[in-house]
Copies of this chain bind each other. A is one copy, B any other.
Amino acid sequence: MAGSPRRAAGRRLQLPLLCLLLQGATAILFAVFVRYNRETDAALWHWGNHSNADNEFYFRYPSFQDVHVMVFVGFGFLMAFLQRYGFSSVGFTFLLAAFALQWSTLVQGFFHSMHGGHIHVGVESMINADFCAGAVLISFGAVLGKTGPAQLLLMTLLETVLFGINEFVLLSLLGVKDAGGSMTIHTFGAYFGLVLSRVLYRPQLEKSKHLQGSVYHSDLFAMIGTIFLWIFWPSFNSAPTTLGDGQHRTALNTYYSLTASTLGTFALSALVGERGRLDMVHIQNAALAGGVVVGTAGEMMLTPFGALAAGFLAGTVSTLGYKFFTPILEAKFKVQDTCGVHNLHGMPGVLGALLGVLVARLATHEAYGEGLDSVFPLVAVGQRTATSQAMHQLFGLFVTLTFASVGGGLGGLLLRLPFLGSPPDPQCYEDQVYWEVPGEPEDEAQGPPRAEEPDTRA
Contacts and interface: CB of A to CB of B under 8 A. Distances in A.
Contacts of A201: none
A305 B34 contact: yes
Interface in A258-299: 258-260, 262-264, 266-268, 270-271, 273-280, 283, 287
Interface string A58-89: 11011001101100110011001001101100
Nearest to A87: B280
Given A26-B308, A61-B62, A249 B102 contact: no
B374 A42 contact: yes
Contacts of A56: 248
B367 A121 contact: no
A120 B259 CA distance: 18
B369 A46 contact: yes
A23 B260 contact: yes
Contact of A39 (B35, B57, B248, B440): B248
A252 B12 contact: no
Contacts of A20: 267
A80 B276 contact: no
A232 interface: yes
Given A215-B438, A219-B87, A312-B23, A370 B46 contact: yes
Contacts of A283: 91, 94
A4 to B, nearest CB: 15
A453 interface: yes
A266 B91 CA distance: 9
B258 A98 contact: yes
Nearest to A250: B40
A243 interface: yes
Which of A121, A245, A260, A304 has the most CB atoms of chain B within a 10 A radius of its CB?
A245
A43 B248 contact: no
A221 interface: yes
A227 interface: yes
Contact of A121 (B8, B11, B252, B371): B252
B441 A45 contact: no
Interface string A1-45: 000000010011111110110110011001100111001111111
Given A102-B256, A217-B217, A223-B90, A16 B76 contact: no
A439 interface: yes
Given A98-B263, A99-B263, A308-B102, A42 B301 contact: yes
Nearest to A308: B27
Contact of A219 (B16, B76, B438, B442): B438
Contacts of A121: 252, 304
A248 to B, nearest CB: 4
A73 B228 contact: yes
A161 interface: no
A209 B445 CA distance: 9
A140 to B, nearest CB: 15
A245 B453 CA distance: 50
A332 interface: no
Contacts of A372: 42
A304 B57 contact: no
A263 B371 contact: no
A330 interface: no
A122 interface: yes
Contact of A72 (B215, B231, B260): B231
Given A35-B304, A95-B266, A369 B255 contact: no
Given A42-B301, A52-B243, A99 B16 contact: no
6 contacts: A15-B266, A15-B267, A16-B267, A62-B62, A95-B263, A126-B251
Interface of A: 8, 11-17, 19-20, 22-23, 26-27, 30-31, 34-36, 39-47, 50, 52-59, 61-62, 65-66, 68-69, 72-73, 76-77, 80, 83-84, 86-87, 90-91, 94-95, 98-99, 101-102, 121-123, 126, 149, 209-210, 212-217, 219-221, 223-224, 227-228, 230-232, 234-235, 243-249, 251-252, 255-256, 258-260, 262-264, 266-268, 270-271, 273-280, 283, 287, 301, 303-305, 308-309, 312, 366-375, 434-442, 444-445, 453
Q: Which 8 A-B pairs have the closest CB atoms?
A: A43-B369, A42-B371, A46-B370, A12-B276, A52-B244, A19-B267, A45-B245, A98-B262
